[in-house]
Structure 1
Amino acid sequence: MDDGNGDSLERILAAAIGDRDHEHERCPECSHPLHVVVAAESPGDATSPVIVRGVCPNCPRGLGAGG
């Protein structure tokens, strides 16, 4: 799966669960390591699909941030 920015959401999720030998995804703008955010589409619904995003703590960009 590709998030449209050329980066794989599977790679982001694998990094979040420690499956990539401690490699971090980097922000396409400033190259700072991204924080991984996982959220349910419908909070409170245990069957809701989740959304995985890489969020940059330094700038408003990140994987899936758009803009």
Structure 2
Amino acid sequence: MDDGDSLERILAAAIRDRDREPELCPGCLRPLRVVVVAENPGDATSPVIVRGVCPACPGGLGAAAP
């Protein structure tokens, strides 16, 4: 995720906005999965981190942890 436009495409994929093209993995060109992680999982007021991750590439979903 490099810029705001990438974030918009990732969030559009999360809400199934079909008018926007999905953000693709730079390594394999597959659509990224959207992962939302709380900075402090036990705190309900904690900010969240939104990431696009590729489950097919090395690191995959394990790379989503902050």
Normalising to structure 2: TM-score of the pair?
0.68
Which stretches in structure 2 are left out of the alignment for 5+ residues?
none
Q: With a CA cutoff of 8 Å and minimum separation of 6, indicate the structure with the bigger relative contact order.
A: 1
1:40 alignment partner in structure 2:
38
Q: What secondary structure sits across from 1:37 in the alignment?
A: strand
Instruction: Determine the C-alpha separation between the residues in 2 that align with 1:35 and 1:51.
Output: 14
Instruction: Determine the C-alpha separation between the residues in 2 that align with 1:47 and 1:61.
Output: 28
Q: Is the 8 A contact 1:39 1:51 kept in 2?
A: yes
Go from structure 1 to structure 2 and tell me whether the alpha carbon gap of 1:27 and 1:7 turns closer, same or farther (over 3 Å shift).
farther
1:53 alignment partner in structure 2:
51
Which stretches in structure 1 are left out of the alignment for 5+ residues?
none
Counterpart of 1:23 (choices 7, 16, 21) is 21
Root-mean-square deviation (Å): 2.7
- Point out the more displaced range, 42-51 or 6-15: 6-15
What number of residue pairs does the alignment pair up?
61
Q: Is the 8 A contact 2:9 2:20 kept in 1?
A: no
Sequence identity percentage: 75
Shift of 1:49: 0.6
